Amino acid sequence: GFVETPYRRVTEGVVTDEVDYLTADEEDRFVIAQANATLDDDMRFTENRVLVRRRGGEVDYVPGDDVDYMDVSPRQMVSVATAMIPFLEHDDANRALMGANMMRQAVPLIKSEAPLVGTGMEYRSAVDAGDVVKAEKAG
């Protein structure tokens, strides 16, 4: 199958707790707001116009009523390999692409070590990969 990612459904400008899982092909048919868009207590967008990605990868500002889905996490816009590049937002695009490709091609260490500079994604990536033995209890 295809990789699916979670999105919160938006109905008439109100962000709901309903989560739909969409593939990249399905995601391209909808207007999706970023996870860091500000919401009020009624789960409505506080801004008149919301920054979204639209069909075909176009980025635009639209009224909240035109939004179909909202990201669950700000991290889901990039791949796991890309998310593990420290200070990605301050990196040149070519350098970030090269770093992501190197991460994808990296060979895991037999005796793993924690990185000196991390992003917070390392633990989740290692546990989800299933290559690391994890103790059930501390000690």
pLDDT in tens, 46-62: 999 999 988 777 899 99
Q: Tokens for 127? A: 């546990």
> Cα–Cα distance between 28 and 20 in angstroms, integer?
14
Give the domains, in start order, of the chain with CATH numbers: 5-76 (2.30.150.10), 78-128 (no CATH)
Digit-coded pLDDT (tens) for 76-132: 777 777 777 777 777 787 887 887 788 777 777 777 777 788 887 777 777 777 777
Q: Is 66 helix (H, G, I), strand (E, B) or coil?
A: helix
43 by Cβ neighbours in 10 Å (0-12 / 13-18 / 19+) ranks as middle
Res. 1 pLDDT band, cuts 50 70 90: low
**Statement: residue 136 has pLDDT above 70:** yes
Record the pTM: 0.65
Helix ranges (H only) for 61-129 are 80-83, 93-105, 122-129
